[in-house]
Amino acid sequence: MSSAISPRSGRSDSGPDRRRVVAGAAAGLLVAALPPHAAAEASPELAQLIARITEGVAPERARISLEIPALVENGNSVDTRIAVESPMTEADHVRWIHLIAEKNPFPDMARFHLGPRAGRAEVATTLRLAQSQTVTAIAALSDGRFVMADANIVVTLSACIDGG
């Protein structure tokens, strides 16, 4: 079996060349440098969904971390970890963590219920993302407050394509 030779460089086309690797790395760095969406910049649909989830209470941007790759090759399997700083005692704990992917066919992705017996306010899961978008995590605290974090994700191969 022979590989094709590029007429310009005289090299084999069997794998990515240096230029493609550098361009891909630069794109990844650019995406990582993008600022997260502020609540004021959220789309009207996303802002409305957040308001419904939080029952109109404005969530704070503190005490929660959303670990998700900024650039994913395949939207069918995106590893995600959400952690909330909480002592997880009877008086002070996380009640639930909610995940939203605003451009998925069903943006309301998941709600994980927690309590003081969970020990840690941490959830790890795998998501399917339809396209490049913002993923938002919201946590409800036992004192009635909400915290949130979001991340911009670039997806090169989409998942969740609606065949209709």
CA neighbor of 80 nearest in space, from 58, 57, 112, 48: 112
Q: 90-130 pLDDT, tens per residue?
A: 999 999 999 999 999 999 999 999 999 999 999 999 999 99
Q: Is the pLDDT of residue 21 over 80?
A: no
Domain residue ranges of the chain, discontinuous segments joined by + = 39-157
SS3 for 76?
Answer: coil
Say what the alpha-carbon torsion angle 7, 13, 19, 22 is, to the nearest 10 degrees.
180
Let me know if domain 39-157 sits in CATH 2.30.30.60: no
Quick one: pLDDT band at residue 159, thresholds 50, 70, 90? confident
Name residue, tokens 């639930």.
96
- Contacts of residues 113-120 at CB distance under 8 Å and 24 or more positions apart, as own/partner, are 114/88, 116/88, 116/89, 116/90, 118/88, 118/93, 118/94, 119/88, 120/83, 120/88
Q: 31-85 pLDDT, tens per residue?
A: 444 444 443 456 888 999 999 999 999 999 999 999 999 999 999 999 999 999 9
